[in-house]
Amino acid sequence: MKKQITCVVIEPGCISCGTCAVVCPAVFEVRGVSSVKQGADIVANAEAVAQAAEMCPVSVIKLISTSVEQCNE
């Protein structure tokens, strides 16, 4: 089964630069610190999510790839 990004975790340390919300506004919002929007379609936005994680200056966006579509945060 093909693995895909199904979960995004933002670890402590976000410096609120706003990059992730610019790169992938469908998934990230920055209010104080970055968070994942409720109900965001991570699978559909996987490419932009991965790009945001790559561009985060403090590397606090962690991507979890699984073969299931359930994300139990």
Contact with ligand SF4 (CB under 6 A): which of 4, 6, 25, 30?
30
User: Which among 26, 50, 30, 22 is positioned nearest to 40, based on CA atoms?
Assistant: 26
Rounded CA separation 11/51 (Å): 17
Q: Which of 14, 27, 42, 46 binds ligand SF4 (CB under 6 A)?
A: 14
If binding is defined by CB under 6 A, does position 15 make contact with ligand SF4? yes
User: Long-range contacts made by residues 32-36, C-beta under 8 angstroms, separation at least 24?
Assistant: 34/10, 34/60, 34/61, 35/10, 36/8, 36/10
Q: In the window 34-63, what residues touch ligand SF4 (CB under 6 A)?
A: 34, 56-58, 60-61
Q: Is residue 17 close enough to count as binding ligand SF4 by CB under 6 A? A: yes
* Residues within the interface to ligand SF4 (CB under 6 A): 10, 14-20, 30, 34, 56-58, 60-61
